[in-house]
A and B are shown apart, each in its own frame.
Chain A
Amino acid sequence: MPKDGIGASTKRREDIRFLTGKGRYTDDINLHGQAYVHFLRADVAHATLNGIETQDAASMPGVLRVFTATDFDGVGGLPCGWQITDRKGQPMQEPKHPIMAEGKIRHVGEIVAAVVAETLDQARDAAEAIVLDYDELPAVIDMKAAVQEDAPRVHDDLTSNLCYDWGFVEENKAAVDEAFLAADHVTTLELVNNRLVANPMEPRVAIGDYAAHDDSSTLYTTSQNPHVIRLLMGAFVLGIPEHKLRVVAPDVGGGFGTKIFHYAEEAFCTFAAKQLKRPVKWTSTRSEAFMSDAHGRDHVTKIQLALDAENNFTALRTDTYANMGAYLSTFAPSVPTWLHGTLMAGNYRTPLIYVNVKAVFTNTVPVDAYRGAGRPEATFQLERVIDKAARELGVDPAELRRQNFIRKDQFPYATPVAVEYDTGDYEATLNKALELSDYAGFANRHAESQARGKLRGIGLAHYIEACGIAPSNLVGQLGARAGLYESATVRVNATGGIVVMTGSHSHGQGHETSFPQVIAQMIGIEPDQVEIVHGDTANTPMGMGTYGSRSIAVGGSAMVRATEKIISKAKKIAAHILEASDADIELKDGKFSVAGTDKSLNWGDVTLAAYVPHNYPLTDLEPGLEETAFYDPSNFTYPSGCYICEVEIDPDTGKVTIERFTAADDFGNVINPMIVEGQVQGGVAQGIGQALLENCTYDSEGQLLSASYMDYAMPRASDVPMITVDHSCQTPCTHNPLGVKGCGEAGAIGSPPAVINAVLDAMHRAGKPVAHIDMPVTPAKVWAAMNA
């Protein structure tokens, strides 16, 4: 067995380049003859755009061309990849999403014009000479105001600001309402899931390049899924066939969802490069990122939980307003619906569930998937309402959950919201988290805090998520305009080394290290014999990229399937050389042997034979050893876990500090525990950020108030505690070859409710029974709630 196979905490090979400054991020690329674009962005949220005077700008030093919306004849809008069907069976309202504002400005930050110049400073200087003629319109920011009859319209050609009114499962609505009438207890909670900005540390960058000699275009971009960008931009926006378009996403400095989407700047740079016959580069500033990267979350929800006299959950219903922003970003409509409504059963047996979601257009930056995407919103409301119910009923919140868990012996379990969980053991993670967090010792710690004049509270939350997305035929029925398979080509070289070309993309996840561990295990060679190639459409098979905690579950499975084909073929070659039947060939520790004999061949002997086929079954078998597999999952995977947070509150200032945080996850099988733990720690920190610090805020006129790190509070080193993580509770996935579930989003999903439950617990214990505080729970809010 290789020493660094499946289950080993192999150190990351990619770290060497990152630690020595040799990473190659998109902004590190500079092409010969490159020009620079500066985008003039709207500084008002809503306006009729009467005209744009660009003449002065165009004649300024270094300016190559000034572009406005009228320069995009024959260019399509940015496509939306998911169509939702509403309660009445009608398709959602889908406005055009132009590259630049056409006739109307719809959010602060929308591109109004672009200046391409020899230098970035020249472009920026010239942009100041552009004169906009516009009439400002009243902005709609608040979602509930936006759906009023007389609200100003974000899109004049739509009938209202309502994108869709979705009911799930619509057929269950009446039964759910009846169950509420029959309930012994109903807990109601209204809450906000705060708007966030993903903020990967690398801002977005796009470089368009055009080769006249073969009429081909190349886009270098900070993307989580270069093939998706190629398909969307080529087929829907620019009309470039895929064989004339290459998209490269090299080292990418974090994504967290916001680098999934196809953005206007990518299309612009590719388009302008062809027009100008020069490479065109755009590097986002952080200030631009705040007003042009798709935002996340932003739900306003009313949730109700019905219980019977024995505290069994009998029904659940929710009403959610979900902000779409001014346009539909690539996967925006799917987030509050299929990634949210389907998770409302959580870890519980609630038999009847009804979810209503109204998606609303507002004069704000488009909102789309951010780490967890829909699942954090589902988990937050569910785990909050359960905690509130426990408080109202006077029962232990852990025990109320335990009582209502789907039991271990009930899997596979079909929920009333259309998904079937394959495996899980929720009591196991609960017990593990209770043990690791020393739940039993809380009283002592509480007393110790109290003695110092501090409040202390403990909160827990469970989560379930659906990841490893997704079965293509299923998502097709649900409105996806894409398949969600993944691909891998495994190329074995003559001397035995392997290159895996994967459609997955790593932007921090460590695929270059963990993927080879799998192949090493399967073949019995060392991982350093395996190299991973990703991020370039020119040398990877069509793949859907990395998001939704899908890389190992879907991309890894594709790689396993391709490797299985390799092994199968290699066995045939070995059988021929060893003059045995294929069925008798065993592969172990990189050696092919004939069962029951001492005849064997090394891995390298067989790979060499594949490319130097002198003694080879040429009539039956092609030479070479390279296989591709596309893996389409048969179900989602369902990671779950229990998170426990312990906080202290300074009653004088309202400041909350996280004293302890425990995460007990069930990710099924784990390839590289070190990487998995890092994913959870990072996710938890983002969840703590949402719970305590981060808030993307607009004023009533649509000005972005949290427009930089001066006002958008990112978690810093001193805001996050050491995080206890455990993944020893493992119920392997039953439908993918590795038994893996995915771990990328869990931390961000499970942590916000655990933090808020802990904060409210602390206040409750101090005789300040506050029912709810919306995130982020800032010191000012805690103080105000305690002194209300």
Chain B
Amino acid sequence: MKVQMRVNGRQVSGEVEGRTLLVTFLRDGQGLTGTHTGCDTSQCGACTVHVDGLQVKSCSMFAAEADGAEVTTIEGMANADGSLSVLQQAFQDHHGLQCGFCTPGMVMAAATLLEQTPEPTEAQVRHHLQGNICRCTGYHNIIKAVMAASGQQVTQVAAE
């Protein structure tokens, strides 16, 4: 079957099977390999993207279900001039990533949090990132990055 959607502002279409997952459509069909697959039980969140503005796990949604949707992936998160967005920049500034594999999902998840809760508490950040597993950072610097991106002074919340 044929599906079409807007991905990062660009209209795309492609032929998919019923079983084609959204993550497969994005990675293999569109070459958007920034979205990663880290598990097969909807736990790790490396595949997190936005569909119609909502954070979803693209490994737990069929491409067919996103027909007609507005999809944003990590490739669509930078500023229009290509520079890092405030959130992405905060991840770099606060060393919120190491191997980088979970990072796209973390950024997509955190972006939704900041939209809903512009100044989250540490506990709110941790709760919101419940479905995104990072094995490298111990979360410490991810939490700092997200809070810093919200304009909060992170030295006051984080152990230094």
Contacts and interface: CB of A to CB of B under 8 A. Distances in A.
Interface of A: 11-12, 14-25, 27-28, 30, 121, 199-203, 251-254, 256, 283, 285-287, 507-510, 674-675, 677-678, 681-686, 708-710, 714-718, 720, 722-725, 747
A507 B99 contact: yes
24 contacts: A12-B95, A19-B91, A20-B34, A20-B75, A23-B33, A27-B33, A199-B135, A201-B99, A201-B134, A251-B99, A252-B99, A254-B101, A254-B135, A507-B99, A678-B140, A708-B40, A708-B41, A710-B43, A714-B135, A715-B138, A717-B126, A717-B129, A718-B127, A720-B139
A685 to B, nearest CB: 3
B41 A678 contact: no
Interface string B86-111: 00100111010111111110010000
Contacts of B33: 21, 23-25, 27-28
Interface string B122-141: 11011101101111111111
Contact of A717 (B91, B95, B125): B125
B1 interface: no
Nearest to A22: B34
Please indicate which of the listed interface residues B34, B73, B104, B160 has the most CB atoms of chain A within 10 Å of its own CB.
B34
A709 B41 contact: yes
A202 B84 contact: no
Interface of B: 19, 27-28, 32-41, 43-44, 46, 73-75, 77-78, 84, 88, 91-93, 95, 97-104, 107, 122-123, 125-127, 129-130, 132-143, 157-160
A3 to B, nearest CB: 16
Nearest to B99: A508
A286 B39 contact: yes
Contact of B135 (A256, A684, A725): A256
Contact of A15 (B28, B39, B91, B134): B91
Contact of A716 (B75, B107, B129): B129
A720 B140 contact: yes
A32 to B, nearest CB: 14
B49 to A, nearest CB: 10
A678 B34 contact: no
Nearest to B141: A678
Contact of B139 (A14, A286, A508, A685): A685
B33 to A, nearest CB: 4
Given A14-B100, A21-B34, A202-B101, A710 B41 contact: yes
Contacts of A18: 97, 100, 103-104
B127 A720 contact: no
Contacts of B107: 19
Interface centre among A507, A715, A717 (most CB of B within 10 A): A717
A722 B143 contact: yes
Given A20-B78, A251-B100, A709-B44, A717 B130 contact: yes
A715 B46 CA distance: 15
Q: Which 6 A-B pairs have the closest CB atoms?
A: A21-B34, A253-B101, A18-B100, A685-B138, A508-B99, A508-B98
Given A714-B135, A717-B126, A200 B19 contact: no
B38 A286 contact: yes
Nearest to B122: A722
Contacts of B157: 722
Given A21-B35, A684-B138, 10 more contacts: A18-B97, A19-B74, A200-B99, A201-B134, A251-B100, A286-B44, A710-B41, A714-B135, A720-B140, A722-B143
B103 A19 contact: yes
Contact of A11 (B32, B92, B134): B92
A371 to B, nearest CB: 10
Contacts of A28: 27, 33
A722 B143 CA distance: 9
A7 B49 CA distance: 37
Nearest to A256: B135
B133 A202 contact: no
- Looking at A677, A678, A710, the one whose CB has the most chain B CB atoms below 10 A away is A678
B135 A200 contact: yes
A19 B92 contact: yes
Contact of B132 (A252, A254, A708, A717): A717
Contacts of B135: 199-201, 254, 256, 682, 686, 714
B125 A682 contact: no
A682 B32 CA distance: 28
Contacts of A251: 99-100
B2 to A, nearest CB: 19
A249 to B, nearest CB: 12
Nearest to B134: A201
Nearest to B137: A682
A12 B97 CA distance: 9
B158 to A, nearest CB: 5
B108 to A, nearest CB: 10
Nearest to B131: A716
Given A19-B107, A686-B135, A708-B41, A681 B140 contact: yes
Contacts of B142: 717
A227 to B, nearest CB: 20
Nearest to B91: A19
Given A681-B140, A709-B133, A253 B99 contact: yes
A21 B92 contact: no
A19 B126 contact: no
B57 to A, nearest CB: 12
Contacts of A720: 138-140
B139 A717 contact: yes
Contacts of B122: 722
B74 A717 contact: no
Nearest to A710: B41
B44 to A, nearest CB: 6
Contacts of A203: 37-38
Nearest to A18: B100
A684 B140 CA distance: 11
Contacts of B129: 716-717
B14 to A, nearest CB: 15
A120 to B, nearest CB: 10
